[in-house]
């Protein structure tokens, strides 16, 4: 056991990912004794005096510590909150919207405060929401799901019926294809919540769509599309090709262990991992199996991408790999030169994240970050990299490569092909400019665009 | 006037390729070019693409893998528009019914993971659990509100129930005009429905063009389908309007957008009846129908560069990292975003309004 731990200690810093900053920090000290295992050599790297060196010269606190009043008084009782609430101190961690984005608050969007989140799970109350006709309050007992069209036996299900089927639970990100849309023509917002907050990542539980379609006897020789439809005022609908439907879609009734929230489709919604959130039809009440697509407004007028020459891309189902540095980001200010643990999120609609690289110099040189969360299919992946900031101006970017080998492009590249009238799928890298510590804006982090 | 989808796309592709190949060229001049793929001859993709993808561990969007399958010019979308190309989202015209049919797209063959997994789930034996209840198609009818691009699903009314286009216009003004404008010009910030803006802008900073029914929508069937299912916004699928009323509104919007009904450019008269036939006639002459193409991504095929990356990947795309775009300024000269927000002096969400 002990030996194994020593081995890990040695192996970790040899990773390309951490070399850069580590080496800079350890400059002048003995190099890591990589490869020398099962000896005392590993611990020779650790020198307690050296470890505390950065504290040298810092003023020591001498005032004795005091108790807070909570040390001498009882807290609140266990029955006060049958459904737990976030502590009031963090009430600023909220979904927020930009008033000017949409003319009507019933067809609108709120965004997830990514800058304040940790790990890869979005709490249910902070899951972004996008409505096209308000969020209905449907009771599960009144809700039905119909499957019909090119099937042997049209069927109708209650929500309880659905819960009887074998279930699956998966963690997936869900992203509005308009995430980042406000940044096509240049930056106009200065928070990760605005630039990337039209997405969340939660654990969904539900029934495989392929099971439900086969339950009704889907006629695979003729079926090419499924047309899911919502029970809400918008009657949301999209056309989903059969390959995607049979691959990994499911009908979810739970989100992070509890029933879906109304904002996310209670009592049931479609989960279309890796694809445009608009396809994840909420309040799902009907699935028609068809040989042709619907050409619904949401796949013609909207969710199609206008190119600079006036043509438009349609049926752009997959969310491309993307990444963002959530700290430091425009939501935070640098605290002075020194070591920073740069962290962020990466995700890909086509599978797992393979690498995340971070640049501090606007894209000339890159350093591989390491993952601090599980690396799951079509889910957020957390990355971190250590950075010794010398206080000079820096341009931070993150770049994801996914398991299909796709490398996230730069904004100039994306603009060259797609123009700026596109609205959707702006998945190029963003850049955070860190103002020099000795400049007027002292360590301000600013969203800039190349 | 109505060029076919394919010819228009060819133009689009040429334009896109110009941009794409510029990048490709700078990429190969920056580093060592990959050797020409074996088994790949000009204009043809490697038929053993499955094996190539498998050998690469499933990296079907890796530049080198794509080069092995598509040849050096992986940025060429021309090849991708061939439905047989493994990277193409397109399907054959024969399937989608030609340039004005109900156009289809597909998951590309090269997305082997998706296709294999779908096939596995399709083939797996399944015996029903029996937890649902059988239901007659006739019982589903009231919920079957979809009208697809082929016109399947239109409600058929007795002949005397269809109203004139003029009457349809009155229904529109009564139920829709306050939000979308009497002539579809938009109101109170709500979307316009009939604005004939050019879809091409000269400067990338210009506001994006308004996309409305006449200048953008590829199908007229979508007007009926969408308006009946989702409008008027506060009381959708309104019995007060009814199917005849929704045909009336649809026809009025076809007229307001100047959509022709035949090769001679005949447009709807006020006295014409608003019928499903009218919608289907207009469906053939939607101005922009031929300008849509299936997903053409990935648009870039970069290699993962780690050190001293070539200029086209750095900063402004010419190697200058200080040449970034300032935030847009408002008329009063302040930045478009709220600067204090960054310093936590005002909470996020208090952005500038009204642009």
Chain B positions in Cβ-Cβ contact with residue A193 (cut-off 8 Å)? 348
Decide if B316 is inside a domain: no
pLDDT at residue number B44: 78
Of the residues B65, B92, B123, which one is the last residue of a structural domain?
B123
For residue A169, the distance in angstroms to the closest alpha carbon of chain B comes to 17
A residues 185..204 contacting B (CB < 8 A): 185-191, 193-194
Same domain, B157 and B56: no
Alpha-carbon distance A194 to A179, whole Å? 8
Same domain, B113 and B202: no
**Which CATH architecture describes the domain A103-294?**
Alpha-Beta Complex (3.90)
| A230, β-bridge pairs | A284
Element (H or E) spanning B246, and its range? helix B242-256
Taking 70 as the pLDDT cut, the residues of chain A under it are 1-43, 100
Alpha-carbon distance B240 to B179, whole Å? 18
Give the relative orientation of helices B5-30 and A411-418 as an angle to the nearest 10 degrees: 150
pLDDT at residue number B141: 96
Of the residues B93, B123, B153, which one is the last residue of a structural domain?
B123
The domain defined by A322-448 folds into Immunoglobulin-like (2.60.40)
Q: Please say whether the beta carbons of B74 and B17 come within 8 A.
A: no
Decide if B310 is inside a domain: no
With an 8 Å Cβ cutoff, is B25 touching chain A? no
Instruction: Give pTM, 2 decimals.
Output: 0.88
Same domain, B242 and B152: yes
Same domain, B116 and B209: no
Q: Where are the domains of chain A?
A: 103-294, 322-448
Same domain, B119 and B149: no
Residues 6 or more apart whose CB falls under 8 angstroms from that of B174 comprise: none
Decide if B314 is inside a domain: no
Same domain, B98 and B185: no
Chain A positions in Cβ-Cβ contact with residue B217 (cut-off 8 Å)? 300-301
Determine the Cα angle at A186 with ends A183 and A189, to 5°: 55
* Beta-carbon separation of A292 and B104 below 8 A: yes
Closest residue, chain A, to B344 (C-alpha): A331
Alpha-carbon distance A432 to A330, whole Å? 7
pLDDT at residue number A34: 37
Whether the bond into A269 is cis, omega within 30 of 0: no
Q: Using CB atoms, which residue from B15, B149, B292 is nearest to A304?
A: B292
With an 8 Å Cβ cutoff, is B326 touching chain A? yes
Same domain, B158 and B68: no
Decide if B225 is inside a domain: yes
Tokens of B339: 């600067």
Q: What is the ipTM of this complex?
A: 0.87
Residue of A90, A364, A431 to mutate when probing chain B, most B C-beta within 10 A? A364
Question: How would you write A414-449 as a 3-class SS string?
Answer: HHHHHCCCCCCCCCCCCEEEECCCCCCCCCEEEEEE
For residue B253, the distance in angstroms to the closest alpha carbon of chain A comes to 15
Q: Using CB atoms, which residue from B146, B288, B319 is nearest to A288?
A: B146
Determine the Cα angle at B113 with ends B119 and B305, to 5°: 170
pLDDT at residue number B327: 62
Same domain, B274 and B159: yes
Residues 6 or more apart whose CB falls under 8 angstroms from that of B307 comprise: A365, A366
Residue of A212, A300, A304, A434 to mutate when probing chain B, most B C-beta within 10 A? A300
Same domain, B164 and B65: no
Residues 6 or more apart whose CB falls under 8 angstroms from that of A39 comprise: none
pLDDT at residue number B36: 39
Residue of A310, A365, A367, A445 to mutate when probing chain B, most B C-beta within 10 A? A310
Alpha-carbon distance A403 to A353, whole Å? 6
Domain count for chain B, please give it: 3
Domain that holds residue B35: 4-123
pLDDT 10s digits, B194-208 = 999 999 988 877 778
Chain B positions in Cβ-Cβ contact with residue A112 (cut-off 8 Å)? none
For residue B300, the distance in angstroms to the closest alpha carbon of chain A comes to 7
**Residue A141, Cβ density class (10 Å: 0-12 exposed, 13-18 middle, ≥19 buried):** exposed
Same domain, B352 and B214: no
Chain A positions in Cβ-Cβ contact with residue B305 (cut-off 8 Å)? 366
Q: Please say whether the beta carbons of B226 and B234 come within 8 A.
A: no
- Residue A256 Ramachandran class (φ > 0 left, ψ -120 to 50 alpha, else beta): left
Same domain, B244 and B171: yes
Q: Please say whether the beta carbons of B192 and B185 come within 8 A.
A: yes
Same domain, B191 and B110: no
Decide if B306 is inside a domain: no
Taking 70 as the pLDDT cut, the residues of chain B under it are 1-43, 76-80, 96-100, 326-355
Q: Is A314 helix (H, G, I), strand (E, B) or coil?
A: strand
């Amino acid at each position: 056991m002990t030996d194994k731990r020593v081995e890990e200690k040695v192996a970790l810093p040899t990773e390309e990912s951490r070399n850069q900053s580590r080496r800079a920090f350890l400059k002048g000290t003995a190099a890591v004794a990589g490869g020398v295992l099962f000896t005392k050599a590993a611990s020779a790297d650790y020198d307690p005096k050296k470890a505390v060196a950065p504290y040298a010269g810092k003023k020591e606190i001498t005032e004795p510590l005091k108790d807070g009043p909570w040390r001498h008084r009882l807290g609140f009782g266990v029955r006060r909150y049958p459904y737990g609430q976030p502590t009031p101190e963090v009430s600023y961690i909220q979904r927020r919207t930009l008033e000017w984005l949409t003319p009507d608050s019933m067809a609108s969007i709120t965004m997830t405060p990514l800058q304040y989140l940790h790990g890869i799970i979005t709490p249910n109350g902070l899951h972004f929401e996008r409505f096209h006709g308000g969020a209905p309050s449907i009771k599960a007992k009144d809700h039905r799901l119909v499957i019909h069209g090119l099937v042997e036996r049209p069927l109708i299900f209650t929500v309880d019926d659905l819960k009887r089927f074998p279930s699956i639970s998966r963690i997936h990100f869900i992203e509005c294809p308009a995430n980042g849309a406000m940044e096509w023509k240049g930056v106009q917002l200065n928070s990760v919540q605005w630039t990337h907050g039209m997405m969340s990542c939660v654990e969904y539980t539900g029934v495989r769509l392929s099971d439900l379609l086969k339950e009704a006897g889907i006629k695979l020789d003729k079926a090419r599309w499924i047309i899911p439809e919502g029970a809400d005022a918008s009657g949301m609908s999209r056309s989903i090709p059969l390959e995607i439907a049979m691959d990994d879609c499911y009908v979810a009734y739970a989100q992070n262990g509890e029933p879906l929230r109304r904002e996310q489709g209670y009592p049931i919604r479609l989960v279309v991992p890796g694809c445009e959130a608009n396809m994840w039809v909420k309040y799902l009440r009907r699935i028609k199996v068809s040989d042709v697509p619907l050409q619904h407004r949401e796949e013609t007028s909207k969710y199609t991408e206008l190119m600079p020459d006036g043509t438009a891309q349609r049926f752009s189902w997959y969310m491309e790999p993307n990444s963002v540095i959530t700290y430091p980001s425009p939501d935070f200010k640098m605290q002075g030169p020194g070591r920073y643990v740069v962290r962020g999120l990466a995700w890909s609609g086509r599978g797992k994240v393979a690498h995340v690289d971070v640049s501090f110099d606007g894209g000339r040189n890159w350093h591989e970050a390491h993952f601090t969360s599980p690396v799951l299919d079509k889910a957020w992946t957390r990355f971190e990299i250590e950075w010794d900031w010398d206080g000079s101006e820096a341009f931070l970017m993150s770049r994801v490569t996914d398991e299909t080998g796709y490398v996230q492009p730069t904004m100039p590249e994306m603009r060259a092909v797609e123009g700026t009238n596109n609205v959707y799928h702006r998945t190029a890298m963003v850049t955070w400019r860190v103002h020099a510590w000795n400049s007027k804006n002292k360590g301000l982090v600013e969203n800039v665009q190349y | 006037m109505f060029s076919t989808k394919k010819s228009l796309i060819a133009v689009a592709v040429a334009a896109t390729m110009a941009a794409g190949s510029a990048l490709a060229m700078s990429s190969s001049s920056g580093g060592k070019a990959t050797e020409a793929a074996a088994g790949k001859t000009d204009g043809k993709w490697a038929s053993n693409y499955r094996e190539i993808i498998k050998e690469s561990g499933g990296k079907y969007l890796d530049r080198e893998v794509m080069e092995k399958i598509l040849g050096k010019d992986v940025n060429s979308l021309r090849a991708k528009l061939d439905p047989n190309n493994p990277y193409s989202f397109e399907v054959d015209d024969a399937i989608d019914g030609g340039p004005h049919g109900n156009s289809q797209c597909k998951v590309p063959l090269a997305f082997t993971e998706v296709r294999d997994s779908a096939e596995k789930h399709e083939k797996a034996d399944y015996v029903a659990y029996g937890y649902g209840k059988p239901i007659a198609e006739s019982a589903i009818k009231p919920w079957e509100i979809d009208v697809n691009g082929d016109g399947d699903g239109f409600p058929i009314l007795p002949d005397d129930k269809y109203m004139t286009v003029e009457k349809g216009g009155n229904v529109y003004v009564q139920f829709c005009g306050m939000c979308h404008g009497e002539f579809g010009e938009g109101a109170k910030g709500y979307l316009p429905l009939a604005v004939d803006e050019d879809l091409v802008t000269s400067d990338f900073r210009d506001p994006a063009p308004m996309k409305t029914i006449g200048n953008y929508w590829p199908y007229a069937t979508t007007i009926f389908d969408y308006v009946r299912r989702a409008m008027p916004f506060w009381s959708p699928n309104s019995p007060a309007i009814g199917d005849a009323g929704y045909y009336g509104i649809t026809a009025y919007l076809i007229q307001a957008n100047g959509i022709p009904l035949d090769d001679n450019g005949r447009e709807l008269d006020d006295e014409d009846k608003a019928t499903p036939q009218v919608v289907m006639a207009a469906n053939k002459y939607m101005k922009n129908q031929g300008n849509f193409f299936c997903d053409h991504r990935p648009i870039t095929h970069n290699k993962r560069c780690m050190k001293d990356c070539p200029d086209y990947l750095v900063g402004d795309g010419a190697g200058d990292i200080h040449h970034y775009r300032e935030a847009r300024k408002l008329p009063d000269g302040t930045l478009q975003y709220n600067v204090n927000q960054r310093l936590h002096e005002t909470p996020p969400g208090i952005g500038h309004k009204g642009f």
